[in-house]
Amino acid sequence: MWRAFARSGVLSVTLGLALSLPGAGPEQPAVPSLARAEAVAPAASTSRPPPEPTPPPGTEGSGSVLAELTPARSVAPGVSHREFTTTHAAGQATGDVVEVDLSVPGVRLGLLTAGAVSARASVPAMADRAGAQAAINGDYFDLGRSNAPAGPEVQDGRPVKSAVPQGRRAAPAVPGAETDIVFAVGTDGVARIDTLPLVAEVQTPGGTLPVQALNQHAVPVGGIGIVTPEWGGADRATTLCGSDTDRNAPCAPDTVEVATSGGKVTAVRPPGKDGIGPGETLLLGREQGAAALRALKVGDDVDVRWELVPRSGVAPRTAVGGSPILIDGARTERLDDTERAPRSAVGIGDGGRRVQLVTVDGRESTSVGVTLAQMSDLLAQLGATDGLNLDGGGSSTLAYAEPGAGKVSVVNNPSDDATRLVPNGLGVFGG
């Protein structure tokens, strides 16, 4: 596990135990021991061709989604690309998969961003900026407003943001999915589906205040949120609007922003959109949270702490939000099987050592897209045991660099006229 501290204007990441917050609910995950979070280096191996997918029992017949899969074409050591088509029964769609072998030395996955939580860029632009060899779009996001992603983000082991309230995730309903569920690659080099709830607090002269948000586009009703320079330039006042279930509900009637730096309060003011200085940490409050923060005065000592606690017990090096659609080789419950759309997903196989970045084209005469249930079956038939649905529709973008090329090229057929600008994605490095 790791903990981020905003002290003396320095953001650091250290190993530590979870915070014990006043009023923490009974559903907080048990804190795993540090022994379980110790890094284990991936076993060294040479690149090997991806295994041919074997449809799971019961999917070989008329219910099969996968019709044809082209041979793997090497992109880089440990990274390959294939094209596929779905069956006539599944509606006939075309798609692409980039397969990543994390057991190959140096091959890794990393979070791609546009430079700030609330910024957007195309997947190719983010990939080229970071030097990635392949990339796929990431989480659903607050399109047209803050543009911030809905779920948690971890970049290079650093917690960047936490998840918005359940009712504020603009994504297809996946029964049982929580907004803090992520695709993660841990310090052990293994990919997994994990959960990253936020545990945070601010210690003040009057006592300890629980915090419910980190760089989120929706601070829970009555809550307090932390905003760091990584948030970007989006208007912070909008994060205090809406309810926990309705983005169009009115803004909170009582809001406040407290600026801190070097462990002291430097300003108490209305929320704004001015730039956040290096080493500065802001506290946003609404309703009861605003009333609690308003007790602070300029010059007061404060200690702001936060961490994302991995339910697996393994600290993530990389994490991006998504909705689980495949667990232990089986569909998650009650997935929609009616609405076809372009889709993006990430599959996990071989005990977390192989990852598949998958897109399915849609909204075209030659490719009708797939349903969530079909996407789950497709991941399984491609050899995954676990999988998460990512943002789809016009956001679905998959790109990779041809051997010797200096830039990536989009290989799927995005449904929008131009490649959509998105806030984050997953990049493949080091092959």
Phi/psi of residue 37, nearest 5 degrees: -100, 5
Query: Which tokens sit at 342?
Result: 């372009």
Are the C-beta atoms of 236 and 216 separated by less than 8 Å?
A: no
Residue-level pLDDT at 89: 86
Residue 199 pLDDT level (bands cut at 50, 70, 90)? very high
Select the more confidently predicted residue: 4 or 350: 350
What pLDDT, in 10s, does the model give residues 24-37?
Answer: 333 333 323 222 22
Q: Determine the average pLDDT of the residues in 228-254.
A: 97
Give me the pLDDT at residue 244, please.
97
328, pLDDT greater than 90: yes
49 vs 107, higher pLDDT: 107
pLDDT value, residue 102: 98
Cβ atoms within 10 Å, residue 423: 32
272 pLDDT exceeds 80? yes
Neighbours of 26 (CB within 10 A): 4
Domains identified in the chain and CATH numbers: 66-158+319-429 (no CATH), 198-308 (2.60.120)
Percent of the chain clearing pLDDT 90 (strictly above): 80
Positions of E strands within 287-408: 303-308, 316-321, 323-327, 330-331, 343-349, 354-360, 386-389, 398-400
Mean pLDDT confidence for 171-187: 91
Instruction: State residue 50's pLDDT score.
Output: 57
- Name 300's Cβ contacts closer than 8 Å, sequence gap at least 6: 204, 205, 264, 265
Measured in whole angstroms, the distance separating CA 88 from the mean position of its chain's CA atoms is 33
Six token digits for residue 126: 């983010």
Predicted pLDDT at 173: 77
User: For residues 166 and 221, what is the distance between their CA atoms, to the nearest angstrom?
Assistant: 12
pLDDT in tens, 277-300: 999 999 999 999 999 999 999 999
- Mean of the pLDDT values across residues 362-374? 95
**For residue 66, is pLDDT > 80?**
yes
Q: What is the mean pLDDT of the chain?
A: 88
User: What is the 3-class SS of 223-254, one letter each residue?
Assistant: CEEEECHHHCCCCHHHHHECCCCCCCCCECCC
- Identify the pLDDT of residue 171: 82
Let me know: does 71 contact 98? Beta carbons within 8 Å: no
Stated pTM of the model: 0.86
* 55 pLDDT higher than 50: no
Q: 20 falls in which pLDDT band (50, 70, 90)?
A: very low
Q: What pLDDT is recorded for position 31?
A: 28
Residue 293: enclosing H or E segment and its boundaries?
helix 288-293
Q: Is 21 exposed, middle or buried (0-12, 13-18, 19+ CB in 10 A)?
A: middle
